[in-house]
Chains A and B, each alone.
Chain A
């Protein structure tokens, strides 16, 4: 069989998601943000919600998410995405409303907004990209930075005596009455990516069924600021992040 015989429309099995715009994404080569953008694009299209979805983009590397996924967006001030999502969802309850936030945005400056939106049980989904660092600003320590992990603001490694302990927002979220579905996923290989996609789908569906707030943490890499190749960053994440940020569902009240 020749290449020409295989490359025909009827044999197509995978292509860039239709909702992912053609404009090149500014993310560093191999960054997890791109994979998650693809999943969100696929899920929204599969749910037929392209005309009814409103994303809230953060401050952080994903600030331009609104340029990449072809739905409606609002751009929030740093950390305020869950507050904005609350307003949007209350005004337009038939819309699929989600925030897309990094760990600096969500677990540091926006901790208050995040916890209160989740606790109020707003019918939204929070997609939480935890790469344990402030990516956009050059790799400073975040509340999620692992003990011993080196960043530009803790060059000798995070020391609990000086910097406190890494914050597990997802574990906190699971204890809140307002949350319906709380899960921690990753996107470093095909199996993980398919699971993460199912989790995003479930969260979006629960939010549309009015079952409360949903948090999907994606344990991610920032190969640039971790100063590793994308491949090595995935390995480092598996070895160092997963023992602390354990993967899986922490809460699923969707069928209760």
Chain B
């Protein structure tokens, strides 16, 4: 089966740092920032192991604020 490669884009200013996407990702791709905050002062979600992302959308589906856009492409 062809492997899927995914990538996520987080709307940083919309993110409230709830961490539910981090918990939902089966591959620990996401983490909250530890140093940076958005304009509201929240630590926001970012991909720290993006190479392993499969584009499964779990993170985006659970995000209560609709902050995550997911792209997926078959590996050639």
Contacts and interface: CB of A to CB of B under 8 A. Distances in A.
Contacts, number: 94
Interface stretch (A13-21, A93-101, A134-142): A13-21
A229 B13 CA distance: 21
Given A6-B5, A24-B14, A30-B19, A14 B68 contact: yes
Contacts of B11: 16
Interface stretch (A33-41, A156-164, A174-182, A245-253): A33-41
Band of interface residues on A: 20 to 34
Interface string A216-248: 000000000000011100100000000000000
A29 B62 contact: no
Contacts of A14: 57, 60-61, 68-70
Interface string A22-57: 001101111111110010000000000000000000
A20 B63 CA distance: 13
Interface string B22-44: 01100000000000000000100
Contacts of B63: 34
Which interface residue of A11, A17, A20, A27 has the most chain B CB atoms within 10 A? Answer: A11
Interface of B: 5-7, 9, 11, 13-14, 16-20, 23-24, 42, 50, 55, 57-58, 60-73, 75-76
Nearest to A31: B64
Given A7-B9, A15-B70, A20-B66, 16 more contacts: A1-B75, A5-B73, A6-B71, A7-B71, A8-B71, A12-B69, A13-B72, A14-B68, A15-B66, A24-B14, A30-B16, A32-B64, A35-B64, A38-B66, A190-B58, A190-B61
Contacts of B6: 6, 13
A3 interface: yes
Contact of A231 (B23, B64, B69, B70): B23
B24 to A, nearest CB: 7
Contacts of A31: 64
29 contacts: A1-B5, A1-B76, A3-B50, A5-B73, A6-B71, A7-B9, A7-B71, A8-B71, A11-B71, A12-B70, A12-B71, A13-B55, A13-B57, A13-B72, A14-B69, A16-B67, A24-B14, A25-B65, A27-B65, A28-B16, A31-B64, A32-B64, A34-B63, A34-B65, A38-B66, A190-B24, A190-B62, A229-B19, A230-B19
